[in-house]
Amino acid sequence: MRRRHLAIPAIAIAFAFTASTQQRGGGTPNPAGGRGRGGMGMSAYPQRHVDPAAVERGKGLYSVNCAFCHGSDARGGEGGPNLLRSTIVLSDSKGEAISPVVLEGRPAAGMPAFHLTPAQIADLAAYLHSFPVGGRDVARSAPPTIVVGNAAAGRKYFDQKCVACHSTSGDLKGIASKIEDPKALQQTWLMPGGRGGRGAPAVAAPPATVTVSLASGQKVEGTLERIDDFVVTLQDKEGVLHSFARAGARLAVELHDPLKAHLDLLAVYTDKDIHDVTAYLVTLK
Amino acid sequence: MILRISMAALALAVLSPAQGLNPADILKPLSDSWPTYSGDYSGRRYSSLKQINQSNIRQLALAWSTRVTAGLPSAGPGRMGGFGGPAGPPTIVGGEGTGDLNESGGRSNRIVGAVLMVNGILYASAPDNAWAINAVDGQVLWHYVWKTKGGTHTGNRGLGMWGNWLYLETPDNYLVSLDARTGKERWHKPIADLNQQYFSTAAPIVIGRHVLVGTGDDLDEPAFLQSFDPETGDLQWKWFATAQKAGDPGVETWRNLDAAIHGGGQMWIPGAYDPETKLYIVGTGNPTPAYTSGTRGEGDNLYTCSLVAINVDTGKMAWYFQTSPHDTHDWDSTQTPALVDAEFNGKPRKMVMQATRNGYFYVLDRLTGEHLVTGKFSPTVNWASRMDAKGRPVRDPAKDFDIGGALVSPTNAGATNWMPPAFSPDSGLFYLTSEDSYAEYYLTETDPRGAMGLGGKDERGVAVAGTYLTAMDYRTGKIAWRHKYENSRAWGGTNVGHGLLATAGKLLFAGDPSGNFVAYDPANGTPLWHTHLGEVSNSPETFLLNGKQYVLIAAVDMLYAFALND
């Protein structure tokens, strides 16, 4: 994402939609496991292989003996801790590590002893090891919607703050049909083109442009490819790249960022403003 | 007594003066060599070398470059053999895995950590890989590769050295000791359990007869710093960042003991060491679960997100200062602290300074942990509502996350991250690269018990409003100056800028977002020299060899050494 996608057709209006519904922010979740990946692009902490029949037997045993205290999903319940992150459960292979705790209980912590057979404990272990373990568990249920704001208040805000550049009958007409996911819509109106740095943007934003004035008086204009303390590179209308060394040269460089207003507003919005504007924009089908 | 004498004799036998690294040498201020992660124990990354200086910096030119190749022999292109070209270096293979998971590229071919320079040899590392390189011309002398069993392969911060022995941490949680002369393995010891989703990226820090080893974990497992014997690899002590049993200090800042045990605080970046007090001062990581903190209770969650001072001989904590009470954004406070002796409020003071991922800069008295200054180095930071009487930011719970999204600065990557800062006694300024950034944090976990690990939220980046080379004034906590990188974009991943090197030649070296390697004026951030390398991946270093000062930098799998034109 360090290189901007440059094959953007000429854009006259503020939003050009590429209809991307890709998830942004953190990439594809691992089915289980932590932040990173292991070698060869594989999950760093792959899901364990367990016998489905043992899991079924263990599930029954768990529901009878364990679920009340540790929760039906083993993430903790009435007094019992989360077992999925338990160091004993994680280190266990086939019941050998959890066995002493099951058989002896933890009287000081209020856990009674359970008189289960080694085979039953192995089944319980298989059930516990069938859960994905890690923060990024896509199976977790999410809130039904991110739209929590007041549409009427959002409209008022829009009419005061946004109409100088945008129109619901012009560039934003049907915006909620073009970006159906309210989260993607919110991210997009906050910063079209996605400058958060992760994943593909839902819309392509108009690119920054630059005007370079040479010592000869000649001016070269185009879309900004790169600028740093030493070089400015632009692409002109014909698609030709022009690079200029800045150090020691008498260049005047003028940057034009069409999204500067969006950037400046980030320090101004309240979260309520944002939620309200999104609640309004999702009505623009 | 007898034991003590024999140990001393053994140490003398191992540490022949002509070879290897005498641990006492690391006590010297940073100069000719680079024997530990930060060059010396102070964490200042300030070299007294000044052969290269402001008056001749324009003559700085490439002395040599070299490429390292990760992975098992025969893996990947360039290792086919039989098509001419010089034979590769001897490759030594270790490890307990099958080799199926080893990478020949990716993160395992990326040098982000410190490169040691001892007696003319460089020692570089990446996940599962280590190399010895001739510092005169970049010739690779040997390559060690570890067959991994897995674990998160984010990076490797560098090697530790004691005598002729090197120490490497692996992503599948082993401490591997290598013979620096040959790359042959002496022993390896397990340091954490892979099944508990630990991964080890830190640079071992050798202090006298201790090898200090930190690890990482993104599930909710206990965080510990361990000290191993450099000769035998036996555990000397293990310090936990959170209470592990009833009555342990700090347990009262958690909802219950189970929450404390699973409370995290992983120390994955090396700290600094004060030989006068024998205190190893290290930053602890974020509490876990990182985002949905209900199971942690309402307390401060000690000793996560803190600077802690650990006695290296006993493994006991002398003092702490929490830089991010009850963190809710995975903003660990592991960033390298710098030890500075300087004047403060008209009196000489022994201080420690740290710029943390949450956007704040701290100055403490390092003898006692007394708070002196808090400042903000990223002005957009908006997660704290006020400062408390102890100089700590007080989090605004509305900026944790929201079902509808909370616009928070900075992003999860932080206002800074693992990139080492620098302090120059010449300018009296503390330097770092920083980012003013925003993300929307959406609560996705509906279960009142919360999530585990890093779960429970969807963080979506909104914008990087600016990236900077930033100089902080420790006397006031205010920004002295910032050099803005124009047209700033996210660096990507958890990269928030670059590591820094300050020198007595009145130079400040760092990478920039365009892949330039730059020497700046430490007084004001004006670029004085640069070269374009594509991507600068580790922190600049400098050393003196055969009377010539070199500046060393890694660009992914390339190492570049610069020196003055003769």
- CA-nearest of B131, B198, B195, B135 to B170 is B198
Say how far apart CA A179 and CA A211 lie, in whole Å: 33
Nearest CA in chain A to B381: A267
pLDDT per position as a tens digit, B285-339? 999 999 999 999 999 999 999 999 999 999 999 999 999 999 999 999 999 999 9
Mean pLDDT computed over B64-86:
71
Report yes or no on A108 lying in a domain. yes
Q: Distance (Å) from the C-alpha of residue B151 to the closest C-alpha of chain A?
A: 5
Whether residue B459 and residue A137 make contact (CB cut-off 8 A), yes or no, is no
What is the model's pLDDT at position B3? 42
A173 within some domain: yes
pLDDT at A20: 31
Of A4 and A215, the structure prediction assigns the larger pLDDT to A215
Q: Which of B445, B101, B249 is nearest to A135 (CA)?
A: B445
A70 and A119 inside one domain:
yes
Structure token digits, residue A265: 């507003």
Same domain, A82 and A173: no
Tokens read off for B24: 């006492």
Query: Beta strands A252-256 and A209-213: pairing type?
Result: antiparallel
Cβ neighbours of B396 (radius 10 Å): 14
Q: Is residue A43 part of a domain?
A: no
Judged against a pLDDT cut of 70, whether residue A264 lies above it is answered with yes
Nearest-Cα distance to chain A for B439, in Å, is: 7
Look at domain B21-564 and name its CATH class.
mainly beta
> Given an 8 Å threshold on Cβ–Cβ distance, is A230 in contact with B530?
yes
DSSP assignment of A179-231: S-SHHHHHHHHHSTT--SSSS--SEEPPPPEEEEE-TTS-EEEEEEEEE-SSE
- Residue numbers of the domain that contains A91: 52-129
Question: CB–CB of A135 and B532 under 8 A?
Answer: no
Q: Is A73 part of a structural domain of the chain?
A: yes
Beta carbons of B444 and A140 less than 8 Å apart: yes
Confidence of residue A189 (pLDDT cuts 50, 70, 90): very high
pLDDT surpasses 80 at B453: yes
What is the C-alpha separation between B126 and B515, in angstroms, rounded? Answer: 20
Query: Residue B159 in contact with residue B130, Cβ under 8 Å?
Result: yes
Mutate which of B72, B197, B409, B491 to disrupt the A interface (most A C-beta within 10 Å)?
B197
Q: Say whether pLDDT at A194 is over 80.
A: no
In a domain, A267, yes or no: yes
Q: Tell me, what's the pLDDT at B83? A: 56
pLDDT score of B1 more than 60:
no
Look at residues B140, B157, B156 and name the one whose alpha carbon lies nearest to residue B148.
B156
- CB spacing of A38 vs B442 below 8 angstroms: no
**Number of inter-chain CB pairs under 8 A, A vs B:** 262
Calculate how close chain B gets to A175, using CA atoms only, in Å: 19
Q: Do B337 and B320 contact (CB within 8 A), yes or no?
A: no
- Cα–Cα distances in Å, from B180 out to A246, B160, B230, B326? 45, 11, 14, 43
DSSP string, B272-334: EEETTTTEEEEE---BSSSS--GGG-SS--TTTTEEEEEETTT--EEEEEESSTT--S-----
- Cα gap B439→B462, rounded to integer Å: 5
> Is residue A5 a part of any domain in this protein?
no
| Closest CA relative to residue B30, chosen from B557, B379, B503 | B503
User: Residue B71 carries which DSSP code?
Assistant: S
d(CA A224, CA A6): 10
Cα nearest neighbour of B109 on chain A: A39
Cα-flanking dihedrals φ and ψ of residue B252, to 5°? -70, -10
Would you place residue B227 in the very low, low, confident or very high pLDDT band (cuts 50, 70, 90)?
very high
Question: Which region among A138-147, B43-52, B69-78 has the lowest average model confidence (pLDDT)?
Answer: B69-78
Ramachandran angles phi, psi of B227, nearest 5°: -115, 125
Same domain, A81 and A190: no
Identify the band that residue B13 occupies on the pLDDT scale cut at 50, 70 and 90. Answer: very low
Q: Is the model's pLDDT at B421 over the cut of 80?
A: yes
Decide if B115 contacts B124 (C-beta within 8 A): yes
Question: What pLDDT does A157 receive?
Answer: 98
Span A36-52, average pLDDT:
72
Range B161-169 average pLDDT:
98
Question: Which residues 106-125 of A are in CB contact (within 8 Å) with B?
Answer: none
Min Cα distance B492 → chain A (Å) is 6
Mean pLDDT of B399-427: 96
Half-sphere exposure of B229 (CA within 13 A, CB side): 9
- Read off the pLDDT of each residue in A269-277 and give the average, rounded to a whole number: 98
| A120–chain B nearest CA distance, Å | 22
What's the pLDDT score for residue A16? 32
Structural domains in chain A (count): 3
> Are B405 and A274 a contacting pair at CB < 8 A?
yes
Orientation of helix A271-281 relative to helix A151-161, angle to 10°: 100
CATH number at residue A158: 1.10.760
**Burial track A40-53 (b if 16+ CB lie within 10 A, e otherwise):** bebbbbebeebeee
Task: Give the single-character DSSP code of A48.
Answer: P
Minimal C-alpha gap between B18 and chain A (Å):
39
Categorize the per-residue pLDDT at B566 as very low, low, confident or very high, splitting at 50, 70 and 90.
confident
Interface of A with B in 55-74 (CB under 8 A): 71
Which A positions 130-149 lie with beta carbon below 8 A of chain B?
133-137, 140-143, 146-149
Q: Please tell me whether residues A276 and A148 are part of one structural domain.
A: yes
> A71 with A108, same domain?
yes
Q: Are residues A122 and A186 in the same domain?
A: no
* Domain annotation covers residue A179: yes
Q: Residue B455 and residue A135: Cβ atoms within 8 Å?
A: yes
In a domain, A135, yes or no: no
Q: Compute the average pLDDT of residues A19-47.
A: 46
Reported ipTM? 0.91
What is the DSSP track for B333-359? --SPPEEEEEEETTEEEEEEEEE-TTS
pLDDT of residue B207: 98
Among B521, B551, B522, B524, which residue's Cα sits nearest to residue B536?
B551
Report pLDDT for A12.
29
CA distances from B308 to B333, B339, B368, B432 (A): 10, 13, 11, 21
Are the Cβ atoms of B458 and A135 closer than 8 angstroms? no
**Per-residue pLDDT, B288:** 96
Compute the average pLDDT of residues B477-499.
Answer: 83
- In this predicted structure, which of A39-53, A187-201, B1-15, B456-470 has the lowest mean pLDDT? B1-15
Cβ pair A14, A206 in contact under 8 A: yes
Same domain, A174 and A269: yes
pLDDT, tens digit, 9 for 90 and up, residues B94-104: 999 999 899 88
Q: Are strands B384-387 and B393-395 parallel, antiparallel or unpaired?
A: antiparallel
pTM: 0.91
User: What are the extents of the domains in chain B?
Assistant: 21-564
Best mutation site among B103, B128, B218 for testing chain A: the one with the most A CBs within 10 Å?
Answer: B218
Flag whether residue A36 sits within 8 Å of chain B, measured between CB atoms. Answer: yes
Instruction: State residue A26's pLDDT score.
Output: 32
Average pLDDT over chain B reads: 93
Q: Answer yes or no: do A181 and A272 share one domain.
A: yes
Instruction: Work out whether the CA dihedral B93, B122, B283, B225 comes out positive or negative.
Output: positive
> Count of H helices and E strands in chain B?
2, 39
Residues in chain B with CB shorter than 8 Å from the CB of A135 are: 218-219, 289-290, 451-456
- Regarding whether A243 and A266 lie in a shared domain, the answer is no
Residue A58 sits in the same domain as residue A173: no
DSSP-derived letter for residue B544 is E
Handedness of CA A101, A107, A112, A114 (dihedral sign): positive
A88 and A156 share a domain?
Answer: no
Averaged pLDDT, B7-19: 44
Q: Which two tokens stand for residue B349?
A: 């003071």
Q: What is the pLDDT of residues B520-562, one digit of tens each?
A: 999 999 999 999 999 999 999 999 999 999 999 999 999 999 9
Instruction: Tell me which DSSP letter residue A35 carries.
Output: S
pLDDT cut 70: percent of chain B above it:
93
Cβ distance of B262 and A146 shorter than 8 Å: no
Do both A74 and A120 map to the same domain? Answer: yes
Is A238 at the interface with chain B, CB within 8 A?
no
Mean pLDDT of A209-219: 94
> Which chain A residues have a beta carbon less than 8 Å from that of B453?
34, 85, 134-136
Question: pLDDT, tens digit, for every residue of A5-17?
Answer: 323 233 223 333 3
- Cα maximum dimension of chain A: 92
What pLDDT, on a 0 to 100 scale, did the predictor assign at position A79?
85
